[in-house]
């Protein structure tokens, strides 16, 4: 029996497969391993530029694969303070290291209360196992 890849315990997760990790006064956002596997080979990552104000529930950008294009949403309002330019140049990082080098943006959130509504890693992994 193979052990499924466990999502990082320091992240919170949405049903639409985004992850959020608080790092000091910033929140790092990416997509989960489950989402990356469902998309298959990610071929393009287009993110909103640094300085963009994001409303709760708004898109921070999109991820394209050979199968589909998917918007990536934020459950938090705030301002994008950093964009992962490396993943824009090498979209395969979303597949190979979604919780590490494959992060998408860093957000200076105006309010982090929305994080309390998200799933923790064990709950997310139980709903969306990755083999």
Per-residue pLDDT tens for 12-56? Answer: 999 999 999 999 999 999 999 999 999 999 999 999 999 999 999
The whole-number pLDDT of residue 129 equals 83
* Segments in the chain forming alpha helices (H): 33-39, 85-89, 93-96, 121-127
End-to-end Cα separation, the chain, in angstroms: 10
* pLDDT tens digits along 112-129: 989 999 999 999 999 998
Task: Output the pLDDT for position 1.
Answer: 36
Domains in the chain with CATH codes:
12-114 (2.40.50.100)
Among candidates 34, 41, 42, which has minimal Cα distance to 15? 34
Please give the model's pTM, rounded to 2 decimal places. Answer: 0.94
């Amino acid at each position: 029996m193979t052990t499924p890849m466990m999502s990082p315990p320091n992240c919170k997760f949405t049903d639409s497969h985004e992850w959020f990790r608080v790092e000091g006064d910033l929140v790092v956002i990416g997509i989960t391993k489950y989402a990356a596997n469902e998309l298959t080979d990610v071929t393009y990552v287009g993110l909103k530029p640094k300085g963009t104000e994001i409303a709760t529930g708004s898109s921070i950008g999109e991820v394209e694969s050979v199968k589909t294009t998917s918007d990536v949403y934020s459950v938090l309002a705030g301002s994008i303070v950093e964009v992962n330019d490396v993943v824009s140049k090498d979209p395969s990082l979303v597949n190979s290291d979604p919780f590490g080098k494959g992060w998408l943006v860093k957000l200076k959130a105006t309010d982090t209360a929305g994080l309390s509504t998200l799933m923790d890693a064990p709950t997310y992994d139980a709903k969306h196992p990755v083999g």
